[in-house]
Amino acid sequence: MRFGARLALAVTTLIVTVTACGAPHGGGSQPRAGQDCGPYARYGEHAGTTVTVYASNRDREADLFEETWADFAACTGIDVAYEGDGEFEAQIQLRVEGGNTPDVAFFPQPGLMERFARAGRLKPASAEVAALAKEGWSADWNGYATVNGTLYGTPLVANVKSFVWYSPAFFRDRGLSVPRTWAELMDVTEKVAASGVKPWCAGVESGEATGWPLTDWIEDVLLRQAGPDVYDQWVSHEIPFNDPRVIRAMDTVGSVLKNDRYANGGYGPARSMASIAYQEGGTPVLSGDCAMHRQASFYAEHWPEGTEIGPDKDVFAFLLPGTDRTSRPVLGGGVFAAAFSDRPEVRAFQEYLATADFATARMKKGPFVSANKGVDPADAATPVDRLSIQLLQDPKTQFRFDGSDLMPASVGAGTFWKGAVDWIGGKGTEPVADSVERSWPRP
Partner 1 sequence: MSRVRERLASRAFSLTAVVIAVLWTTPTLGLLLSSFRPEDEIKTTGWWTVFGSPHVTLDNYDEVLFGSANASGRLAEHLVNSVVITLPSVLFPLVLGFFAAYALAWIDFRGRGALLVGIFALQIVPLQMALVPLLKLFSQGWLFLPAWGLTGPARFTHVWFAHTVFALPFAVFLLHNFLAGLPRDLIEAARVDGASHGTLLLRIVLPLAGPALVTFAIIQFIWVWNDLLVALALSGGTAETAPVTVRLAGLAGTRGNEWQRLTAGAFVSAFVPVLVFFALQRHFARGLLTGSVKG
Partner 2 sequence: MSFDAVAQQPKLQHLLQGVVAFAAVVCLILLALHRGPARRRGAAFLLLAPALLLLTAGLVLPGLRTLLLSFMDREGDARVGLDNYVWLFTDPEALIALRNTLAWVVLVPLLVTAVGLLYAAAVVRSRFRALALSLVLLPMAISFVGAGLVWKFVYAYRPAEADQIGLLNQLVVTFGGTPRQWLVESPWNVLFLVVAMVWTQAGFAAVLLAGAIGAVPGEITEAARLDGASPRQIFWRITVPLIRPTLLVVVLAEVIGTFKAFDIVRTMTAGQFDTGVIAHEMYDQAFRYGETGRGAALAVLLFALVTPVVAYRIRAQRSAG
Distance CA 221, CA 234 (A): 13
- Which of 224, 125, 232, 209 has the alpha carbon at shortest distance from 416? 209
Pick out residues in 12-31 that bind partner 2 (CB under 8 A): 14-15, 17-18, 21-22, 25
Determine contact, residues 424/395, Cβ cutoff 8 Å: no
Q: Give me the 232-251 binding string for partner 1, x by CB under 8 A, dash otherwise.
A: --------------------
Distance CA 81, CA 210 (A): 30
Candidates 127-135, 275-283, 348-356, 421-429: pick the segment binding partner 1 (CB under 8 A).
Answer: 275-283
Cα–Cα distance list, 270 to 120, 198, 256, 339 (Å): 45, 10, 9, 43
Position 93 contacts partner 2 (CB under 8 A) = yes
If DSSP codes are grouped into helix, strand and coil, which group holds residue 158? Answer: strand
Cα of 249 vs its chain's centroid, Å: 23
Q: Which of 63, 71, 85, 89: binder of partner 2 (CB under 8 A)?
A: 89
Candidates 35-43, 154-162, 273-281, 408-416: pick the segment binding partner 1 (CB under 8 A).
Answer: 273-281
- Read out DSSP for 62-100? HHHHHHHTHHHHHHH--EEEEEE-TTHHHHHHHHHHTT-
Pick out residues in 58-97 that bind partner 1 (CB under 8 A): 58-63, 66, 82-87, 90-91, 94-95, 97
Position 324 contacts partner 1 (CB under 8 A) = no
Q: How far is the CB of 85 from partner 1 (least distance, A)?
A: 5
Q: Which of 24, 26, 175, 207: binder of partner 2 (CB under 8 A)?
A: 207
Per-residue exposure over 366-401, b if at least 16 CB sit within 10 Å of its own CB, e if not: bbbbbbbeebebebbbbbbbbbbbebbbeeebbbbb
Position 62 contacts partner 2 (CB under 8 A) = no
Determine contact, residues 216/296, Cβ cutoff 8 Å: yes
Residue 184 or 280: the one with the smaller Cβ distance to partner 1 is 280
Residue 203 or 329: the one with the smaller Cβ distance to partner 1 is 203
Name residues whose C-beta falls within 8 Å of residue 180's C-beta, 6 or more positions apart in sequence: 321, 325
Residue 54 or 399: the one with the smaller Cβ distance to partner 1 is 54
Residue 214 or 371: the one with the smaller Cβ distance to partner 1 is 214
Position 6 contacts partner 1 (CB under 8 A) = no
Determine contact, residues 214/421, Cβ cutoff 8 Å: yes
Cα torsion at 403, 405, 408, 413 (round to 10°)? Answer: 110
Contact set with partner 1 (CB under 8 A): 3, 54, 58-63, 66, 82-87, 90-91, 94-95, 97-100, 205-208, 277, 279-280
Contact set with partner 2 (CB under 8 A): 1, 3-4, 7-8, 10-11, 14-15, 17-18, 21-22, 25, 89-90, 93-94, 115, 119, 207-208, 210-211, 266-268, 271-272, 274-275, 408-410, 413-415, 418, 421-422, 425, 435, 438-439, 441
